[in-house]
Amino acid sequence: MVERANKPKTLVSTPGFAPQATVTFSEDNSRVRAELPTGESVEVLLHGATVISWKDAAGDEKLWLSDAAKLDGSKAVRGGIPLVFPVFGTAPDHEQTKTLPQHGFARTSRWEFLGKSTSEDSFSLSSASVKLDFGLSSAAAGLDPLARERWPYAFNLIYSVTLTRDSLSTGLVVTNDGEKPFDCQVLFHTYLRVKDINEVAIAGLASTPYVDKVSPAASAPHDDPLAIAAETDRVYTPASASAAVTVSESGEPKFRITRDNLSDVVVWNPWTDKAAGMADFEPKDGFRQMLCIEPGSVSGWQVLEQGDAFEGAQTITLA
């Protein structure tokens, strides 16, 4: 064989194309992990389609997860981003959902992983993103058996988790696939990780009406910023559905939360006594390192007729 002097070299990679996000499964197929080529990552437990981790490129965790959280499918996860559907809390006076467990069944059912998609711009690392899609329906094998018995409606849920270099988005599409109309509520129960709750300030809820579940008599609108110094459980309904909520710590912006078609924002921290009474909340002083900012549609009901769909989403951007 004659060797050519100008023999072309083997290409190590396709020229001009940036590395792509990777998606992997755990050995027991209980969770999905996506990582951008720049190091940012997200991990989703198929039980509840619960986001249990979101890290930046340096590996710093952005979500709070209880040390005692059950990740084996035995109960809802304490921490991360549990998904609330079709009822927020309990609704003993609402005929369709009065017998459902607290926060419904989406967070206690096993979802199906539907696939991934990546950003169209394959030439730039700065715009890299990955979207993970999950599904749950009334016909799914993973549906909580209690839900099938107590909520006999034909529905389909598509849940999307999108990771970019500086943000995490979660979005849910609810479709009525049956002949009977149904009512529903939706909420993303997001546990944000902070260093010290005493140094946290929340802006964007000034002069906003809210329902205070801890002290109903104290539900007067307030000025910015909002500080957390005791048990807090409030449902805010901002006048503008597009208004952002900003979380700062020690005077420095940390998170910016925006909503799409979600009218409400729940602010929650269990503080000392409440945390002490929850078996799956560890460490007991963990309330000092977490804050729940929960976009949702929970102050009323979405009524879906046959073929109707409801869609809502949140985006958490690192400030």
For the segment 251-288, what is each residue's pLDDT rounded down to a tens digit? 999 999 999 999 999 999 999 999 999 999 999 999 99
Active site residue 294: yes
In a domain, 134, yes or no: yes
The domain that holds 245 is classified in CATH as: 2.70.98.10
- How many structural domains comprise the chain? 1
pLDDT greater at residue 6 or residue 82: 82
In a domain, 1, yes or no: no
Q: Which domain holds residue 283?
A: 22-318
Label residue 17 by pLDDT band (50, 70, 90).
low
How high is the pLDDT of residue 12? 47
Per residue in 142-174, pLDDT (tens digit) is: 998 889 999 999 999 999 999 999 999 999 999
Active site residue 94: no
In a domain, 128, yes or no: yes
Q: In one letter, which amino acid is 202?
A: I
Does pLDDT of 64 surpass 60? yes
In a domain, 170, yes or no: yes
* C-alpha–C-alpha distance, residues 115 and 26, integer Å: 15
Peptide bond just before 86 cis, omega within 30 deg: yes
* C-alpha–C-alpha distance, residues 188 and 78, integer Å: 13
Q: Which is catalytic among the residues 40, 43, 249, 294?
A: 294
Measuring CA to CA, how many Å separate 60 from each of 55, 197, 297?
5, 18, 30
Q: Are strands 112-118 and 83-84 parallel, antiparallel or unpaired?
A: unpaired
Q: What angle do CA 120, 121, 125 make, to 5 degrees?
A: 130
In a domain, 178, yes or no: yes
Q: Which of 1-10, 77-86, 132-141, 192-201 has the lowest mean pLDDT?
A: 1-10
Q: Which is catalytic among the residues 189, 231, 305, 311?
A: 189
Contact 249, 62 (CB under 8 A): no
Q: For the chain, what's the residue count?
A: 319
In a domain, 16, yes or no: no
In a domain, 275, yes or no: yes
How high is the pLDDT of residue 10? 45
This prediction's pTM: 0.92
Percent pLDDT > 90 in the chain is: 83
Label residue 116 by pLDDT band (50, 70, 90).
very high
Q: In one letter, which amino acid is 212?
A: D
